Amino acid sequence: MNAPYVEIGSILITCSFVGWITNYIAVQMIFFPLKFKGWGILGWQGIIPKHAGKMAGLIAEILTDRLIKPYDLYRKIEPTQITESIRDKIGEKSSSVVRDILVAESPALWKMLPQEAKEILEKEIREEIPTKIEEIYEAFGKDLDQVLRIKDLIRDSLSGENAKVLSEIFRRCGGPEFRFIVRSGIYFGFLIGCVQVAFIAYLNQWWTMPLMGIFVGYITNWLAILMIFSPLEVKNFILFKYQGLFLKRQVDVSREFASVISSRVLNPENLIRIIFKEKGGDLIISELLSKTKELLDQKLKSKIPYASLLLGSQKLDEMKEKICDSILELVPEAAERMKSYIEGRLEIEKLVFENLSVLPPVEFEQLLHSVFKEDEATLISLGAFLGGLAGCAQAYLVFIK
């Protein structure tokens, strides 16, 4: 064999390296690859991408059940602000529906209509469209979860092609913890290396090195994960107090989590989309059509009672449809103009941070630990396997070469 000091040094360095490299690979395997690589069972997909759907569902449940109540968000929006943001457009539409559409459909009817009646009709439509829009918003509250489907928005924003956003959440929230896992491999590996030196001195057998390599790889991964999440509360040990590293940083983690959620998930663009363009948009359009037809029936009958005689009932219905289509053009305009108001009014980041930072430890722990729970045993076993390989290489260098 080589000189004792060289042998001891190689054991300590190897154990430290094995601890570091196995933990480093374990952390990388949490995030990468995004898609499955390999053949059959001989392959791997990052834990987060693989289980993104389930993890996104868990986050959606925590967000909507404990951190952000959809109905509370709904109540923060003043419907008058929606109409105020597009009042100028409503004025333009009221003029166009009275003048352009009536003239296009029946110039004779437009000429027969007294000027005062034209102005009154235009004024009443301009004043009543905002009322109809506000009535539609009020109707949202009756069936809010089914209409807005915020849980679906959260799941879709964090899974599938958007799994990288979920990875970003965990990298930002658990950055120090993941770095601790990697570094701890060096420390734990060195300590176990000291034990291995004693084994070699006592037994002087090559097989102790692969055996200790397996032990180093296994124990360093297991201890690192354990120290991150346990104990949930501060616990007194003989010489010191200790709390799981992730739990200890609850305030900082909450701040990072809230930042990603508000900028990448519940941002104004996504909220506008579900309110105005998806199922919420379908409700707005159907309700707005209904309210507008109701409004037109009232106004045309009172201001132009002879309209049906001049146009015929079918032509009159077609004209109402065109007027409704013209008013529906307000929906995307309202959506664009509401972005800044919604962002300032809802304060998603502040709301998530304040509620998450005081969440009970057992619920808070689920946010990050859910990543490990799915394949925790696989990660630890991988550490043992890689440690065993490194131990075999070490035995070859020390005993054979």
Q: Which domain holds residue 322?
A: 4-400
Contact 302, 120 (CB under 8 A): no
Let me know the angle formed at the C-alpha of 103 by 100 and 107, rounded to the nearest 5 degrees.
170
Structure confidence at residue 312 as a pLDDT band (50, 70, 90): very low
For the cut 80, the answer to whether the pLDDT of residue 39 exceeds it is: yes
Q: How high does pLDDT run on average in the chain?
A: 75
DSSP state of 64: I
* 60-101 per-position pLDDT tens digit: 888 888 888 777 777 777 777 777 777 776 666 666 666 665
Q: Provide Rg for the chain, Cα atoms.
A: 33
What global pTM score does this model have? 0.70
- Domains contained in the chain, number: 1
Query: Which long-range CB contacts under 8 A does 87-91 form with residues at least 24 apart?
Result: 87/130, 89/330, 89/333, 90/126, 90/129, 90/130, 90/330, 91/126
Instruction: Give the Cα separation of 379 and 316 in Å (integer).
Output: 71
- Phi, psi (degrees; rounded to nearest 5) at 89: -70, -35
Distance from the Cα of residue 209 to its chain's centroid = 46
* 90-108 per-position pLDDT tens digit: 666 666 666 665 665 566 6
